[in-house]
Structure 1
Amino acid sequence: MKILLKTLVAVLSITTLNACNANSKTEVIDLAISKTVIETPSISNNPEIKVALLLDTSNSMDGLIDQAKAQLWKIVNVLSYAKCEDQNPNLQIAVYEYGNDNLNADEGYLRQVLNFSDDLDEISKSLFSLTTRGGNEYCGKVIQTALTQLNWGNNTKDLNLIFIAGNEPYTQGDVSYKEASKLAHKNEVSVNTIFCGDYDKGISGYWKDGADLTHGNYMAINQNAATVHVASPYDDRILELNKKLNKTYVAFGSQGRQKKEMQADQDANAMGYNKANAVSRTVSKSSRLYKNSSWDLVDAEKEESFSYDDLDKNELPKELKGKSKSEIKSYITQKSKERETIQNAITELNNKRKEFITKITSDPNNGLENAMIKAIKIQAKKKNYKWD
């Protein structure tokens, strides 16, 4: 069963809800962090939407992975409008693969591909790096591992979600899915299960029971359904703006060049599906969730901890070599203004694009994106999230 697409995580809109609950008590267990895991610190006090995508990379799930890659940006775009008590939630996504013969048998044929991260380019790169090979799919084991390795925090306003997809019985492996479900419930993490195949077969394979035990959602989808991309008259203009947007990034530091190359690579991956998918990525890049303060001076300058005095002159891009602090600051200010103008233009064109698409098409009912949206709406409502 090829790649269980779990990678879709996140979200969707919900239109009426009040303000985030702060009444529920959260029990926190000690987290056993793997030596290879680097904990991502919270960059603000805003609530967070945390999604762990558990992807089966055994045989037969190529279609599901395709859906995940193609629909990632649509999901991100929806999440960018989320609100919780007038705060803008941050988005953190982690990715695991499991069920692949190439993975370590002693560790349950699973691997953490990406720890919780808000780097959308890293998330995209992780999805495109996955390959499939037949193996054993141990749902209980991978859920337990994600719960204990990842830092889920204890903020009652956070929306903590696991999405796991597959088409084999949910009961396989030495770790009972019921024990894993108890751990998820204890730590207020909802496990949403996506069975790739017949709805009733998924129920008999205990996928619904796994979701019910954690107050998550059970869904069945046709993983081989092709993602429908709708062209619009605004696509070319949005993609032209993407080229201009990329020119506003000022790479610095030891990772600057590498990260900017990754940005270009993920643009190419999105375009590899088709123009509409590349447009969705461009819209994501114009949203508040696309943050690159670790390597881009325009984003870094907005951080409270940033100081021009701390810049290593040896790690500046060539256009800023030998410049004074005031000259550097003036350059970054100009690039920031250019970016804001371009992002506003993209947003305006995308609003027209959405209106156009709404008039000529309707969403399918059994795709991954729709399944994720349904689940997020229900669980976001419990936390009283709402969308602009």
Structure 2
Amino acid sequence: MLHRPDKKPARPYFSSGPCAKRPGWSLGALDNALLGRSHRAPEGRARLREVIDRSHALLGAPSDWKIAIVPASDTGAVEMILWALAGDAPIDVLSFESFSGLWAQDLRDELRLPRLTVHEAPYGALPDLSAIDWSHDVVLTWNGTTSGVRMPGPEAIPATHEGLVICDATSAAFAMDLPWDRLDVVTWSWQKALGGEAAHGMVALSPRAVARLENGASRPLPKIFRLTNRKGLIDAIFQGDTINTPSMLCVEDALDSLRWAEAIGGLPALRARSEANLAAVTRWVEKTDWIAFLASDPALRSSTSICLKIVAPWFVALPQDGQGRAVKALTGLVAAEGAGYDLASYRDAPAGLRIWGGATVDTADIEDLLPWLDWAYQAVSKEYAA
């Protein structure tokens, strides 16, 4: 039996959403929140516009793109775009984990698009990118939050393409470089790489996407999905007039995260922190015989949602429900010690571990977590391998 580790992570928070707050965060960061005031007052609009402007600059989005705060987190952002845009052209969608699979399901079963091609791959892999028809609209997830698989790089998308490229980037934005010149719609939420609070999403539109919204055939949409009216794009939404009432506490928290990111060096520093977290896990995996990356190709491994599979023969031999119970027991032991929380893989993913490695997580905390995983594994294996 391994010796029980002596050191615990200073911040044992490894959930993939809502994610760890930025280092040094406290409730004092919210002291100046605009509470008891209307979000439509000049001060409220100014705070909302500040989130938009700081996000625009930090992500390096082109100056002619439009960015808005929208309801219902990244899910709401993606859904509003699919319902507003999908179907005007043939569409290809990549499906390789829970949420990309959900977008494919909605396009097929809810919108019932007749000119739809679904490119599928199992957890841990990407679909065949060479099979995509880039003259079609394409829906892709840049980083699979539930599979730990990310796009290999900007070259995966042709520099010139006829269709619109709609990118769900919720666990990639603020941690990875996005090829803005090859994308047309990008969505994300505050609760991932910024460590913000839930329920608010953001959508960024290229001029090509705006033109399609204004000129394309539209279907009836509920109010919370509408970015256009009879006059065209509702430009006020992109100036800080939100579609529905936002939480000004969450807005203040998002501003705190953005200011922290700027202070440490912007996107390059955020990316470096996340890659350092992946590197720490990689070193551990390479010397540990019971664990492996869910993504076998190193070029596809996510630096934010780091997904792992247990490869010990006794675990592989268990039925699916038994594997789930073993993972629950393992992660439960670590949580009971206060050494790491929310470490089990997503409910629809293969049973295993998932460690959030976004920039708000300190590498030292991941390094302090890993011995606890070894310790808990030893304890669980004695019970389940017998």
Q: TM-score normalised to the size of structure 2?
A: 0.29
Q: Which has the higher contact order (CA 8 A, sep 6+)?
A: 2
Q: TM-score normalised to the size of structure 1?
A: 0.28
